[in-house]
Amino acid sequence: MAIRTQTIGDPVRRREDPRLVTGQALYTADIPLSGALHLALVRSPYPHADVVGIEADDAAAMPGVRGVFTGADILPTLKAPFPVASSPSGGAFEGLQLPGSGPIADRRVRMVGDPVVAVVAETPQQAADAAAAVWVDYRDRPGAGDCRAALADGAEAIYDAVPGNRAFRWDLPANREPDPAPVVVAQDFRIQRLIPMAMEPRTVAARPDGDRITLWTSTQSAHRVRSSVAKILGVARERIRCVAPEVGGGFGAKANLYPEEVLVPWLTLRFGAPVRWAATRTEDFQTTSHGRNLFARLEVRADESGRVRHADLAMQFDCGAWFSRPGPTTPSLTGTMIVGPYDIATAAARAEGAFTTTAPNEPYRGSGRPEATYLIERMLDILAGRLGLDPVEIRRRNLIPGHRFPYRTATGLTYDSGEYERALDLALEAGDYAGLRVEQARRRAGGGKPLGIGVACYVEICGFGPWEAGGVTVEPDGSVTVRSGTSPHGQGHETAWAQIAGEQLGVDPARVSVLHGDTDECPRGIGTFGSRSAPVGGAAVFTNAETVREQAKRLAASLLEAAPEDIRFAEGRFFVAGSRARAVGWTELAAYAASEESPDDAGDALTSDTDFRPPSETFPFGAHLCAVEIEPETGEPRILRYISVDDCGRVINPLLAEGQVHGGLAQGISQALFENAAYDADGTFLTGSLLEYAIPRADMLPAYELRRTVTPTPINPLGAKGIGEAATIGSTPAVVNAVVDALRPWGVEHLDTPLTPEKIWRAMNESQAQGEESESD
Amino acid sequence: MRAFEYTSPKTVADAVAMLSSEGAVALAGGTDLLSLMKDGAASPSRLVNLKGIRDLEGAHRTDDGFRIGATTRLASLEENPTIRESYPAVAQAVAGVGSRQVVNMRTVGGDLCQRPRCWYFRSGFGLVPMHEGRSMAKIGDNRYHAIFGNSGDAAFVNTSSLAPPLIALGAMVTVSGPDGERSMALEDLYRTPASSDESEFTLAAGEIVTAVTLPTASAQSATYDVRNRKGFDWPLVSASVAVSGGSARVVLGQVAPTPWISTAAGAALAGGLSEESAAAAGNAAAEGASPLSGNAYKVQLTRVAVKRAAMAAMEG
């Protein structure tokens, strides 16, 4: 039987799916733990208050209750602050405040859902009942539901150490004095707060194992959790085995450390018994990080032909009640990506961050790039409208041409590779842009529902280093084991990494096992976020498999009694040049390596575990086209066509890539039209359930038409750029541009998201609606 | 959730007796009551399960119409051929509920006695929430609140899915209590409370809804509702239309503390259903609306819902 040796690029079906769709997969809540105790947390119902008293005697006496703990019991025993935020690297952050709130309240709560009392009982029900019986006396303080309220004069300090609530300033000065340009356009934007909403709520479990602890958690980064927890609990890192078993979605919100990841192992050490905590959906709403949530003002200067010469961005960023390491990087990514795929000579950006009495506002699918893309893409449409240009034409005049790569941006980044106009052309062709414009003109002249056409070009930054692990070993039976430092929460790493190793080694991917998300099995790793798995983790698998193949040639030379330079490799077999009949495969080599005749270093020849260190980031890009029709009676928008052209470099598995695009489009379109996480002025949470928070259902989304261009990156040998966030980034502005385009006859230039039917109807029925929206949604 | 006593009587008389004690509440499908209890907006000391009472369940033709028992589930109503053929406004109202889980569990009596979705009420501020002498709904976020019948302090809306079509079709409701059984027009089940101490229902202590009866069908009827997200949102506005002979009835849901009978819209349709009369009825229904600070959009949706319901009734 001929072995297929080219598997990268094949639409291989996900090997993960049978166990997932049949309910065989084990999530953290499913891990069997005999004799486990259960944690329930008493949480603050107030945005901001002092904890004046706690009365827990009744709760402690209830059936099955094994212990009741407050900050006074727990905080003095911790060896490092929580959260473990440190100054983010690579940015000009000034005055960064890291007050440290602790994993449980220290006589002060700063958001609805802050943990105040930990109740441990023998069953989850007993723990919940006892938690409900704890009486906490709060003294209310004024809160701040958004960063403008927190930064206002006289606002109550959320941390005593941070009067004024300013968490940081970030400044990217202009690269040089901007050239004069005659056309100046500015617009204020409010990008709403979103909830990432993984299907699996956060869950943590721990078990004592001899003098070690095994910690299971629903995380995107088992290694980071292990390091942080070890530091905070003051135990050696080697004493903690951290496992991310099946993880049901993360979207960035499971990339940082949470209080329960400290409290559960703390309680396990205390009781010497397994302990589990599983968030209710309400707890997940209240305490798992939210995202986006930005006030921004963008000004561009252009010449009359529509060439943009300068961009200036000012941002106010809501940190929530605390932030972990990645928090403040979000606005800095927005700032450095504000020029988008356009050749803009100069740019400046700045941000100030503020603590508020709301849930942490952290990276969410795209983190900063959706904001940047939305801002510049909306601005180009506004500018095109002012200059009487077609939105496509203004983009063509500004896109970075293919021959300019690698391209150095005004903000100091180096774009790796790109054919931006080709992606735009493909989207226009696939969507029949010219035909849509004809239909729009027909409707505007002769009646019919308003039709809008939106175009958005995007480029994003991903593949963040500094390194990632992806070890490859050929086992004694000839099968292959990959030890991945990145771990999936739905992406399909097992399928994709098997394809990469399979192709490099000429082995059927079915013979490749992929281990991940276990700090014992995979000793090194950083994690899955920022679309970094393929370009960094996948590249590690790619290079290690190549190394094994080259090392194996020496072993084959010994076995075949030939010089290493004469050994050839094809279709998974090694042979001496010119005598293919005497070929040996991985099974023979592995057996030989284990035998006494083999050279001393034979075992090492079949394994390689060198981390991949990318020299810089990758920059996927694309173009999206959306056609939308408005129901004039109700303002309801209906998407008629959605074309997504995405270029993520070399594609490992088109099925997986398309799956990422589908999910990204759902979230990006939903940001444009539906979702909004709302707090009131004090920080009372208004959208704390799936009834109030509008996650989309399938019937609310259009049929997607996907196209692809392939422009490999030179940054890694795999050529892959990353696809996890791309569609989220391109879709929000495409939809908003389409809706605003439909509303042009009404003089509408901008509307803030989400574009609810009511907002659209008001824009059509209240004259001079020029984007100054009330805070009604 | 607080501890409570659970009882499951077999007869209406026993149920009424068990409900006469302080803090006792009737439980049927539980789709509303259980969420109120979980949210802490209700903490009954006793739940009286009505689903064990055989007489209360089932829908069937009678000599002079159609009788629907109070614990009949929406799902079985939706499947009932008489409802589908003769009372389409009712079938369409059930279809609009969308969520299968709710349709499978919610009962007719529970739907008619659905408590308001008002977020002040659900957050424990009471049915007519007041802040320093002013209606919280009127000074706060009121995008989903009443645009009719809001001259007093009450600004919540009645959210029953079935009340508008049943009232449009002329339904009677039967209730049983300590003083026996009585019947009244379904619209008389509802009232607008002046304060949180009063109920939004005219039921006396210990009384429960036992059945709804519809007259023999002779009307063209339809229901249309507007939702942000079809499937699981509550409607923003719903409208039911029933036209029979020279008279028509138009009943709005989600717009007032009670199901709202629009006599002006009914008059506009009395001469018959047409595209013109549908549009006129929509405009007539919106006349006299008194929107609050944040819900003027519902006035427009009222126009649209009535017009579309009338068009649907015409197309039958």
Chain B residues close to A132, C-beta within 8 Å: 1
H helix intervals, A561-652 = 586-594, 602-605
User: Strand locations in A281-406, DSSP E?
Assistant: 291-302, 308-320, 346-355
CB atoms B297 and A761 under 8 Å: yes
For residues A455 and A473, membership in a common domain is answered with no
Which residues fall within 8 angstroms of residue A131, CB to CB, at 6 or more apart? A40, A41, A42, A59, A117, A119
Read off the pLDDT of each residue in A262-274 and give the average, rounded to a whole number. 98
Which of A633, A692, A693, A765 should one mutate to test binding to chain B, selecting the residue with the greatest count of B CBs within 10 A?
Answer: A633
Chain A residues close to B230, C-beta within 8 Å: 699
Read off the pLDDT of each residue in B212-222 and give the average, rounded to a whole number. 92
Which residues fall within 8 angstroms of residue A717, CB to CB, at 6 or more apart? A539, A542, A543, A546
Does residue A40 sit within a domain?
yes
Does residue A191 sit within a domain?
no
Label residue B105 exposed, middle or buried (CB < 10 Å: 0-12, 13-18, 19+). Answer: middle
Q: What is the pLDDT of residue A4?
A: 55
Residue A521 near chain B (CB below 8 Å): no
Which of B43, B297, B306 should one mutate to test binding to chain A, selecting the residue with the greatest count of A CBs within 10 A?
Answer: B297
Cβ contact A656:A496 at 8 Å: yes
B301-310 confidence digits (pLDDT tens): 999 999 999 9
- Count how many domains chain A has: 3
Helix (H, G, I), strand (E, B) or coil at A519: coil
Percent of chain A with pLDDT over 90: 89
Does residue A186 sit within a domain?
no
Alpha-carbon distance of A444 to A44, in angstroms, equals 54
Question: Residue B199 sits in which domain range?
Answer: 5-315
- pLDDT band of residue A1 (cuts 50, 70, 90) is very low
Q: What is the pTM of this model?
A: 0.94
Of all residues in chain B, the one with the smallest CA distance to A633 is: B304
Alpha-carbon distance of A565 to A583, in angstroms, equals 15
For residues A503 and A593, membership in a common domain is answered with yes
Residue A634 near chain B (CB below 8 Å): yes
- pLDDT band of residue A774 (cuts 50, 70, 90) is very low
pLDDT at residue B231 is higher than 70: no
**Closest-CA residue to A527 (of A117, A220, A174, A769):** A220
A81-104 confidence digits (pLDDT tens): 998 766 665 567 888 888 877 999
- pLDDT band of residue A6 (cuts 50, 70, 90) is confident
CA distance B16 to chain A (A): 31
Element (H, E) at A331: helix A329-336
- Count how many domains chain B has: 1
Residue A176 near chain B (CB below 8 Å): no
**Sheet of A135-140, strands arranged across:** A108-109, A49-55, A135-140
- pLDDT band of residue B1 (cuts 50, 70, 90) is low
Does residue A771 sit within a domain?
no
Reading the block at residue A72, the tokens are 């006074």
Chain A residues close to B229, C-beta within 8 Å: 674, 694, 696-697, 700
Nearest to A633 among B141, B232, B304 (CB): B304
Q: What is the pLDDT of residue A599?
A: 81
Q: How would DSSP label each residue in A238-301?
A: GGEEEE--B----TTTTSS--HHHHHHHHHHHHHTS-EEEE--HHHHHHHS-BEEEEEEEEEEE
Nearest to B300 among A680, A756, A761 (CB): A761
Alpha-carbon distance of B243 to A606, in angstroms, equals 83
pLDDT at residue A777 is higher than 60: no
Element (H, E) at A672: helix A654-673
pLDDT at residue A164 is higher than 50: yes
The CATH number given to whatever domain includes residue B210 is 3.30.465.10
A682-710 confidence digits (pLDDT tens): 999 988 888 889 899 888 999 999 999 99
Label residue A477 exposed, middle or buried (CB < 10 Å: 0-12, 13-18, 19+). Answer: exposed
Residue A758 near chain B (CB below 8 Å): yes
ipTM of model: 0.90
- Final residue in a domain of this structure, among A579, A608, A637: A608
**Closest-CA residue to A652 (of A561, A564, A721):** A721
- pLDDT band of residue A310 (cuts 50, 70, 90) is very high
Nearest to B143 among A132, A700, A776 (CB): A776
CA distance A758 to chain B (A): 6
**Chain A from 580 to 609: CB within 8 A of any B CB:** none
Residue A681 near chain B (CB below 8 Å): no
Which of B131, B230, B301 should one mutate to test binding to chain A, selecting the residue with the greatest count of A CBs within 10 A?
Answer: B301
- pLDDT band of residue B77 (cuts 50, 70, 90) is very high
CB atoms B300 and A633 under 8 Å: yes
A210-226 confidence digits (pLDDT tens): 999 999 999 999 999 99
Read off the pLDDT of each residue in A710-722 and give the average, rounded to a whole number. 97
For residues A131 and A270, membership in a common domain is answered with yes
Reading the block at residue A325, the tokens are 């390491």
Of all residues in chain B, the one with the smallest CA distance to A760 is: B297
For residues A593 and A733, membership in a common domain is answered with no
Cβ contact A282:A40 at 8 Å: no
Alpha-carbon distance of A604 to A61, in angstroms, equals 59
For residues A671 and A731, membership in a common domain is answered with yes
Which residues fall within 8 angstroms of residue A696, CB to CB, at 6 or more apart? A666, A669, A670, A674, A675, B229
For A597, phi then psi, to 5°, come to: -75, -15
pLDDT at residue A180 is higher than 70: yes
- pLDDT band of residue A772 (cuts 50, 70, 90) is very low
Q: What is the pLDDT of residue A769?
A: 40
User: DSSP label at A647?
Assistant: E
CB atoms A634 and B226 under 8 Å: yes
Percent of chain A with pLDDT over 70: 97
Cβ contact A233:A79 at 8 Å: yes
Measured CA to CA in angstroms, residue A653 lies from A12, A20, A81, A534, A710 at distances of 7, 19, 42, 11, 13
Read off the pLDDT of each residue in B27-41 and give the average, rounded to a whole number. 91
CA distance B175 to chain A (A): 32
What count of CB pairs under 8 Å joins A to B?
A: 33
Chain A residues close to B297, C-beta within 8 Å: 758, 761-762
Alpha-carbon distance of B257 to A202, in angstroms, equals 40
Q: What is the pLDDT of residue B233?
A: 76
pLDDT at residue A440 is higher than 60: yes
Read off the pLDDT of each residue in A387-396 and give the average, rounded to a whole number. 98
Residue A694 near chain B (CB below 8 Å): yes
Nearest to B231 among A633, A697, A776 (CB): A697
Q: What is the pLDDT of residue B219?
A: 84
For residues A487 and A592, membership in a common domain is answered with yes
User: DSSP label at A661?
Assistant: H
- Indicate the average pLDDT of chain B: 94
Per-residue burial over A529-552, b if 16 or more Cβ lie within 10 Å, else e, is bbbbbbbbbbbbbbbbbbbbbebb
- pLDDT band of residue A198 (cuts 50, 70, 90) is very high
Label residue A272 exposed, middle or buried (CB < 10 Å: 0-12, 13-18, 19+). Answer: exposed
CB atoms A758 and B297 under 8 Å: yes
Reading the block at residue A117, the tokens are 């009392």
Alpha-carbon distance of B266 to B282, in angstroms, equals 10
Label residue A701 exposed, middle or buried (CB < 10 Å: 0-12, 13-18, 19+). Answer: middle
Q: Which residues of B touch A (CB under 8 A)?
A: 1, 119, 141, 143, 226, 228-233, 294, 297, 300-301, 303-304
**Closest-CA residue to A587 (of A472, A474, A503):** A474
Higher pLDDT, B146 or A689: B146
Bridge-based pairing state of the strands A607-608 and B5-7: unpaired
A364-381 confidence digits (pLDDT tens): 999 999 999 999 999 999
Alpha-carbon distance of A526 to A465, in angstroms, equals 9
Read off the pLDDT of each residue in B56-83 and give the average, rounded to a whole number. 95
Chain A residues close to B1, C-beta within 8 Å: 132
pLDDT at residue B3 is higher than 90: no
For residues A372 and A283, membership in a common domain is answered with no
Chain A residues close to B143, C-beta within 8 Å: 758, 776
For residues A588 and A642, membership in a common domain is answered with no
Per-residue burial over A110-139, b if 16 or more Cβ lie within 10 Å, else e, is bbbbbbbbbbbbeebebbbbbbbbbebebe
Label residue A190 exposed, middle or buried (CB < 10 Å: 0-12, 13-18, 19+). Answer: middle
Measured CA to CA in angstroms, residue B76 lies from A316, B12, B71, B223 at distances of 54, 22, 10, 18
Alpha-carbon distance of B278 to B268, in angstroms, equals 8
Cβ contact B170:B247 at 8 Å: no
Q: What is the pLDDT of residue A292?
A: 96
Q: What is the pLDDT of residue A2?
A: 46
CB atoms within 10 A of CB A487: 29
Q: How far is CA A726 from the centre of its chain?
A: 10
Alpha-carbon distance of B305 to B165, in angstroms, equals 13
Specify the range with the lowest mean pLDDT, choosing from A556-565, A591-600, A636-645, B286-295.
Answer: A591-600
CB atoms B229 and A765 under 8 Å: no
Does residue A120 sit within a domain?
yes
Does residue A499 sit within a domain?
yes
Does residue A382 sit within a domain?
yes
Question: Residue A720 sits in which domain range?
Answer: 365-463+616-765
Cβ contact A158:A150 at 8 Å: yes
Label residue B238 exposed, middle or buried (CB < 10 Å: 0-12, 13-18, 19+). Answer: buried
CB atoms B229 and A674 under 8 Å: yes
Q: What is the pLDDT of residue A94?
A: 82
Q: For chain B, how far is it from start to end, CA to CA, in angstroms?
A: 46
Read off the pLDDT of each residue in A123-139 and give the average, rounded to a whole number. 97
Q: What is the pLDDT of residue B130?
A: 94
Cβ contact A654:A713 at 8 Å: no
Phi-psi label, residue A526: left if phi above 0, alpha if psi -120 to 50, beta otherwise: alpha
Number of separate helices (H) and strands (E) present in chain A: 20, 29
- Final residue in a domain of this structure, among A264, A287, A310: A287
- Final residue in a domain of this structure, among A608, A624, A647: A608
Alpha-carbon distance of B158 to B152, in angstroms, equals 15
pLDDT at residue B54 is higher than 80: yes
